[in-house]
Structure 1
Amino acid sequence: MSTARTGLAAALLAASVVIGLSGCFNPVDAVQQGVEDAVEGAVEGATGGDVQIGGDLPEGFPTEVPLVDGEIVAAAGTGDGWVVTIRTDAADPVGDAVAALEAAGYVEDPEMAAIQVEGAALRSNGTWNVLVAGDTGGVAYTVTPVQ
């Protein structure tokens, strides 16, 4: 597995852990901040990229990628790609994300059309590949340049 893929996988795992923890527990703010800082440090160390738990998009995130409305709970970028996780109240976050991508000119790769994974979709605009995956609580975007 390439370093970029390993880094993105680590970032996605960290984002999933943060969403799971924030949804299942209501820790004291200081404890939550300590956990977020530890996750950020671990992922940054593993990927060499910038990681944000909550708040802003990572540096260099492509403006051509439309995102669903909601709260950014985790974001990471390695320079070779980005992962952004958004908590949203939308009834169908993945469907909304796909609709926004398609409205912006992203299309499904015909070679990948036969592969259907519930709760996930891959779209491309010729410059960026965007994998969206999620459930009723939110959606994660993995954005990589088209090779």
Structure 2
Amino acid sequence: MRLTKTSAALALALGALLAPALTGCIGNPVEQIVEGAVEQAGGGDVDLNSDGGLPDGFPTEVPLYDGEIQGGVAVDTAEGGGWTVVVAVSDPQASFTSINDQLVAAGFESQFSGFTDGSGTGMYVGPTYSVLVTVADDGSGAVTATYIVTQSASQ
């Protein structure tokens, strides 16, 4: 089955929101919720990772902050797929600055980037992939960086 753009976006968004809940849980019902939502939206292949590893096919061209991977999701689409990865970070502002520097050094062009009120958001476009990154407190006092990676529009 193939995913539509709508179901791929839904799966990536759900993965971004729910990936921290997957950490360390085998057979977690959250995985069933995301997969069920994808099926309702048109079906497709989803890889939800709750073991701290990268989701299937995560592009090596996208550098990640050197922190513990909390979880992630890969969505297989006819348009090339997408990935969400959540990484634990320490200091929000220093982490966001480091992530920005890593992406720019890897050849990604910053479309916008900013840090205010304890959280940062940036959008970066490379020749093959686009990356949306947010760094923020997840509400429980833990600070995470969430990467949403998709095929660049030029692909």
Same fold (TM over 0.5): yes
In terms of fraction of residues, the more strand-rich structure is: 2
Give me the whole-angstrom Cα distance separating, in 2, the residues matched to 1:121 and 1:96.
Answer: 12
Residue correspondence of structure 1 range 1-147 to structure 2 within 5 A:
3-19=4-20, 21=21, 33-43=27-37, 45=39, 46=41, 48-55=44-51, 56-69=53-66, 70-79=68-77, 80-92=80-92, 93-109=95-111, 113=112, 119-136=120-137, 137-147=143-153
**d(CA) in 1 for partners of 2:6 and 2:124?**
18
CA distance in 1, matches of 2:115, 2:6: 20
TM-score, normalisation: structure 2: 0.67
Q: Which runs of 5+ in 1 are unaligned?
A: 24-28
Instruction: Looking at secondary structure, tell me which structure has more helix per residue.
Output: 1
Aligned residues: 135
Cα RMSD (Å): 3.1
Task: Pick closer, same or farther for the CA change 1:17–1:72 going to 2, 3 Å.
Answer: closer
TM-score (norm 1): 0.70
Counterpart Cα distance in 2 of 1:51 and 1:76: 5
Percent sequence identity over matched residues? 23
Q: Which runs of 5+ in 2 are unaligned?
A: 138-142
Runs of 4+ in 1 over 6 A off after TM superposition: none
Cα-to-partner distance string for 1:97-143 (whole Å, 9 max, x where unaligned): 2221012121123xxx4x86852111112221111123142122121
